[in-house]
Each structure stands twice: as structure tokens, then as C-alpha cells.
Amino acid sequence: MQEIKAIIADDEKQLRSHLKSMLSKVWPDLIICGEARNGREALELIEKHRPDIAFLDIRMPGLSGMEVAGKVAGSCWVVFVTAYDQYAIEAFENEAIDYLLKPVTRERLEKTARRLKEQIDSYTKPPVDFSEIVNKLIVNLQDMETPGYLQWLKVQKRDGIRLIPVDEVYYFKASDKYTMVITKEGESLIRKPIKDLADELDPDKFWRVHRGTIVNAGCISEVSRSLTGRSVIRLKDLPETLTVSRSYVHLFKQM
Amino acid sequence: MLPVNRKGETAKEDFLVEMHMESKISDAKTHRPVVLFFLTMVFNTVIAVFLTFFGFREDFVVNLIFSQCIGLSICVLVTIAHWFFGNLSPLMRMFLFTAALILGSVAGTLLGMTITGVDTSLFFEKNVSFVHVVSLGIVFGSIISYFFFSRHRISMTERRAEEERIRRITSEKKAVETELRLLQAQIEPHFLFNTLSNILSLLDTDLKKGQTMLIDLIHYLRTSLKKTREDITTIGKEMEMIRAYLNIFRVRMEDRLNYRIDMPDSIKELPFPPMLVQPLVENAIKHGLEPKIEGGEVWIHGVEDGEVLRLEIADTGVGMYKRGASGLGLSNIRERLKSLYGDKGRLILEENRPSGLKAIIEVPHARD
């Protein structure tokens, strides 16, 4: 029987050496040909040594374990090692990918070793199509981690660049090519037209009530009719009122 | 962790509650002038009947015309005066109200004279009967206005009580949510399982190091779990917990993490809310340094600046653009600062130079 080679990738040294020593007990014939501290190193090691198996931590700097797996699909068997990723684990069930939970126990590692040996014996090559599965997982994970909408505004202040979370903005007001950002602390200008901003903000939280105004729905205290029949928005904590233009009145209609 | 849009939903729910209330109130607002004028006309008719019965000017039709003219004029002018009440002092309000009453009576009388075909110039001559008409207008006007004002005051009081009730329910709900989020934040499963894995492996290789790490974990868990039920701790105690937390990461990340905590001795005994700094340190590691291949440094330091106490948490990590959902923890901190210190408690985020993020907590300096 030919030699079976593996690499281990984890950003925490202690966990790499732990897995290595466990493997040496459970699977003494396995050759660990390299250890990687991050996703990029893992990728380099896999390309250089062409191992049969890669043990990949999911959360790593540089590239995540998932991203590495997606790139090397078909060239080696992948076992994910993770501390806690409930959603990811559910996705691994019934797939051709194995996973280990940290802390890795001897019994679980033995099971993984048996499975890997069987697979390596019965197939000549790892399945190529799991790059699809992995890519699907990556997309799922990204959906869960990043909400996709703009979260921060970068504002130039006298003493440096201030970061304002969008949740704190009461409203945005168009000002030529710029947009005025009004928070409780005051006004600041950002270099982005309100039209572009409208596309990047969460429409559930930020309502466009006028061609030149976007208001944070959470900051509205009341909406009333003015003498001329226009809807006027009153804000919490701020004295000014905002006018709702006729084409956006429907936002407040059904309530 | 809660889904990211939770906050948004809550905001929208609260908003819907408020909108619902608002629509009820504005219904009342739009009906009010109609009801007001109708009631005024009823009162005017009653007055006309009353006056005719007691033989004032004998003719009911003339009495009715005069009382309607005077009553409605007063009604219009007092309503207009009421619009301008705003922030006026009670004395100014009284003055404005009296002026509206007198002006309304005179204007109503003149209007009545015009309608009934009496020469209005007679009013300005010393015609005693028209002076009577004006004074009657003022007397009845006062009584009826008093009736409307107290009715208005009662409805305003009810409205305010209702608003207060909704506000209380909303803030209670928020407090419970905050508590829950705090609890979840401390026992982040990723942190817990990774740390336990490290300890487990250290038991084989470096028993002493493993023990130290376990002690740090126990210290961190005990203080952080206890703290949600405490309202206040001291800066010194909070920093001890942060040190234990950072020590754990120092073992896990090795030379990828360096940290410094600089707190002047003078502020260590100052009271400070628990679990305000910890989420910022957690963010610095989780979103700043862990994703960065070469790692970096966390620097926590306290500054006394006159009336302000400032705690800065700076990291040399990847900066803010790659940090997605960390806004949840931050809005939580902001809410707590606001409820504890009002406008004097602030959380500011800045770009750290040359790289990373700097979070600054400002609270009033609690000097003895």
C-alpha cells in the first residue's frame, strides 16, 4: 500500500499539535507533511506536497477553510475542523465531506480515519463535484455573516476619520453631489450622492420620503398632516420636521 | 447570536405601535374643530333661549343671531389664540385669551348689528344696550371656553398617559432584550470550545500553561456571568477580567497578539458599568486581529480629561470595512450608555493609525 500524506491547517498552534499527536496515535502510518497557520499557507502546502488529506480549520485568517477546500476540490480529501458552526455542520451531514468538532476526541478521530481509509481504498480520486457543495456552503455562510447593507459611514472630522454606524443616523439630506448626514451629535457631509446611498441602505430601516431625503424609520416620532395637506414627519429628539413628497406618501398610507 | 435584522424589526414594531396611536390621535384632531363649532352653536342657541325667556330684547330671532355671531367669533378667535399658546407663560396665555374674548364679543356684536340691519355706528355712541351685549358675550364666552379648555386638558392627559404606557412597555422590552444579548455575548460558543480545546491539548504538553489558562477562563466566566446581575463594578475589576480574557487569546494566538492595558491608578477605584468594554475588546480580536494573518496589538488605556473619563480600545487589525455585523453589539453599548448617562455617555469609533479601529467610550468623570 502506498504512503498516505496529510496536512493540518489551523491558526492556533496548540490545536495543530494536538491534532497531530492524536493522529499519530490513531493512524500511525499517516504522514503529516506540513502544518499551515492560515488559509494561504494551507493552499501553498497542498499545491507543493499534493497530500491525500487536508485537515482544515474553518475560521482562519487569509482564506477560510471553506475557501481553501473550494480551490483544491478534486485534488485531496477534506476534513473540516471547527469549534462551533452549527449551521455548517448540518450542511455537512450526508455529504462527501467529513468534519471534526473541537475539542477533537479520540473516538471521533478513529471514525474519521476509518472513513478516510475506506474512501481512499475504493476511489482513485476524491470527488471533484464537492467544490460545488463547498461553494454553496460559502455563499450560505456569507449570507449569515454579512447583512449586505451599508453599516458604516466614514466621515472626515478635524481630528481624524470618524466612523458612524448607519443606525445612528436620523436622516440624510441631499446636498448637490454630497449628502448631509444628520445624527444626534450634528451634521456631517459625505462624498456620495443620495441616489447611490439609497441603494446601499437597508430599505426596511431607511425610508426615502422625498427625492432629497432618506429618513431612519426608527427615529420618526410622528407623522401628521400639515394645513396644505402634506405629510410632515416629526423626529425623536430633533426639532426639525421633514416633508413627505407626494410620490412617497404611500409609505404611510396603510397604517 | 440573534439574527442581524432583529433590531430593525423591533424598531419597526415600535414604530407601528406609535403610528397606530398617532392615527387615533390625529382622527380626534381632525374631528375636533367640527365638534367644537357644533357644540358652540348649541350653547349659543341655549343662551338665546335663556335670554328671550328672561325678556332680554324680546325677539328670539334677534337674540339667536347675536348669540351665534358673538359665540362663533369668540370660538374662532380663542381657537386661533390657542394655536399660539405654545411655550408662552401662563400670564401671557391669560392675556391672549382675554384679548380674544373681548375682541370676539365686540366683533360678534358688530356682525350681529350688520346682519339685523342696525347701523353699526350706533355701537360707538354711548349706547348702553350694546355694551350689555358685549359684557354678556364676555361672561358666557368665559364659561363656555372654560368648559372646552378643561375638556381639552382631560383628553391631553389621557393621551399623555397612553403615550407614557407605550413608552414604558417599549423600554421594558428593550431592557429584557439587552439582558439576553449580554448573556449570549459572554458565552460565545466559538470562544468557549476553542479555549477548552486548547486547555485539553495543553494537559498533554504543558500542564502549567494549561492550568493558568483554565484559571483565566474561570476568572473570565465567573466575573462576566456575575456582572449581568450587578449594576456597577469598578474600572480596576473590569480590567482584571479583560486581562484574563486577553491572556486566553494570548495563549491561543501566540505572537499574533500583543496587548497593553494602561490605566492610571487614580481611576481604578472609580465605579463603572460592567460589560461595556468587553464587547469592544472582543470585536477588536474577532473582527480586527484574528482575520489578519500577521496579527497585531490591542491597546486599552484610560484618560482623565477634566470632567470626562475616556477609555480607548485601539487595535491594529484589518479596520472596519471587513467587519460586517458587529454593529449589533455596538448599538447595545450605545443604548446602555444613553440610559446610564444620557447625552454625556458616548461611544465614538475612529480609524486607528496606521491601521485598525479605535473605539472610545466617554462617560462623566465620577470624582468624589
**pLDDT by residue (tens digit) across A196-216?**
888 888 888 899 888 899 999
Average pLDDT over residues B343-358: 88
- CA A255 vs. chain centroid, Å, equals 35
- Of all residues in chain A, the percent with pLDDT exceeding 70 is 82
User: Which residue has cell 498516505?
Assistant: A4
CB proximity list for A171: less than 8 A, separation 6 or greater: A182, A213, A214, A215, A216, A219, A235, A242
Average pLDDT over residues A13-41: 94
A123/chain B closest Cα distance in angstroms: 33
Instruction: Tell me the backbone φ, ψ of residue A150, rounded to 5 degrees.
Output: -60, 130
Q: Which pairing describes strands A53-57 and A241-244: parallel, antiparallel, or unpaired?
A: unpaired
Q: Which residues of A touch B200 (CB under 8 A)?
A: 18, 103
Instruction: Give chain A's mean pLDDT.
Output: 83
DSSP class per residue in B37-49: HHHHHHHHHHHHH
Q: How many CB atoms lie within 10 A of CB B359?
A: 24
Give the model's pLDDT for residue A93: 53
Instruction: Tell me the backbone φ, ψ of residue B311, rounded to 5 degrees.
Output: -115, 125
- CA A96 vs. chain centroid, Å, equals 24
- Measure Cα distances from A183 to A167, A254, B331, B350 in Å: 10, 28, 14, 16
- Strands of the sheet containing A5-9, edge to edge, are A31-36, A5-9, A53-57, A77-82, A98-101
Closest by Cα among A210, A113, A218, A123 to A166: A218
**Grid coordinates representing B241?**
477580567
**CB contact (8 A) between residue B290 and residue A59:** yes
- Of all residues in chain B, the percent with pLDDT exceeding 70 is 81
SS3 A94: coil
Question: Distance from first CA to last CA of chain A, Å, rounded?
Answer: 74
Average pLDDT over residues A36-65: 92
Q: What span, in angstroms and rounded, lies between the C-alpha atoms of B210 and B204? A: 9
- Measure Cα distances from B88 to A240, B83, B85, B96, B122 in Å: 20, 11, 5, 10, 37
Average pLDDT over residues A52-56: 92
Out of A15, A152, A160, name the one closest to residue B320 (CB). A152
Give the model's pLDDT for residue A91: 55
Q: What is the pLDDT of residues B311-325, one digit of tens each?
A: 999 999 988 755 554
Give the model's pLDDT for residue A157: 79
Beta bridge partners of B314: B299, B358
Reported confidence tier of residue B188, pLDDT bands at 50, 70, 90: confident
Give the model's pLDDT for residue A75: 83
- Measure Cα distances from A178 to A2, A161, A197, B271 in Å: 66, 17, 10, 43
Reported confidence tier of residue B184, pLDDT bands at 50, 70, 90: low
CB proximity list for B13: less than 8 A, separation 6 or greater: none
Q: What is the pLDDT of residues A92-130, one digit of tens each?
A: 654 556 888 888 889 999 999 998 888 888 866 666 666
- Asked if B61 reaches chain A (Cβ–Cβ under 8 Å), the answer is no
Does the structure show a pLDDT above 90 at B247?
yes
Does the structure show a pLDDT above 60 at B208?
yes
Q: What span, in angstroms and rounded, lies between the C-alpha atoms of B329 and B178? A: 10
Q: Which pairing describes strands A5-9 and A53-57: parallel, antiparallel, or unpaired?
A: parallel
- Asked if A14 reaches chain B (Cβ–Cβ under 8 Å), the answer is yes
> Same fold for the domain at A5-145 and the one at A152-252?
no
Does the structure show a pLDDT above 90 at A168?
no
Q: What span, in angstroms and rounded, lies between the C-alpha atoms of B199 and B2? A: 29
Give the model's pLDDT for residue B21: 44
- Asked if B83 reaches chain A (Cβ–Cβ under 8 Å), the answer is no
Question: What CATH homologous superfamily does A5-145 map to?
Answer: Response regulator (3.40.50.2300)
**CB contact (8 A) between residue A84 and residue B202:** no
Q: What is the pLDDT of residues A75-96, one digit of tens each?
A: 888 898 988 766 566 556 545 5
Reported confidence tier of residue B15, pLDDT bands at 50, 70, 90: very low
**CB contact (8 A) between residue A83 and residue B197:** yes
**What ranges do the domains of chain A cover?**
5-145, 152-252
**What ranges do the domains of chain B cover?**
6-183, 187-364
- Asked if A188 reaches chain B (Cβ–Cβ under 8 Å), the answer is no
Give the class (CATH, top level) of A152-252.
mainly beta
A6/chain B closest Cα distance in angstroms: 20
Q: What span, in angstroms and rounded, lies between the C-alpha atoms of A142 and A123? A: 32
Helix H or strand E encompassing A210 = strand A206-210
Instruction: Tell me the backbone φ, ψ of residue A24, rounded to 5 degrees.
Output: -65, -25
**CB contact (8 A) between residue B5 and residue A202:** yes
Helix H or strand E encompassing A29 = none
**CB contact (8 A) between residue A147 and residue B324:** yes
Give the model's pLDDT for residue A33: 93
**CB contact (8 A) between residue B201 and residue A17:** yes
Out of A61, A165, A166, name the one closest to residue B293 (CB). A61
B20/chain A closest Cα distance in angstroms: 7
**Helix residue ranges per DSSP H, B54-127:** 60-83, 90-116, 121-124
Topology of domain B187-364 in CATH is Heat Shock Protein 90 (3.30.565)
Q: What span, in angstroms and rounded, lies between the C-alpha atoms of A127 and A119? A: 10
Q: What is the pLDDT of residues B263-302, one digit of tens each?
A: 999 999 999 988 889 989 998 998 899 889 999 999 999 9
Residues 13-32 of B with CB under 8 A from A: 14-16, 18-20, 22-23, 26, 29
* ipTM exceeding cut-off 0.85 for this assembly: no
CA angle in degrees (0–180, nearest 5) for B244-B250-B254: 165
Give the model's pLDDT for residue B10: 43
**CB contact (8 A) between residue B19 and residue A252:** yes
- Which letter does DSSP use for residue B192 in this model? H
Q: Which residues of B touch A101 (CB under 8 A)?
A: 193
Average pLDDT over residues B2-30: 43
Give the model's pLDDT for residue B213: 96
Reported confidence tier of residue B17, pLDDT bands at 50, 70, 90: very low
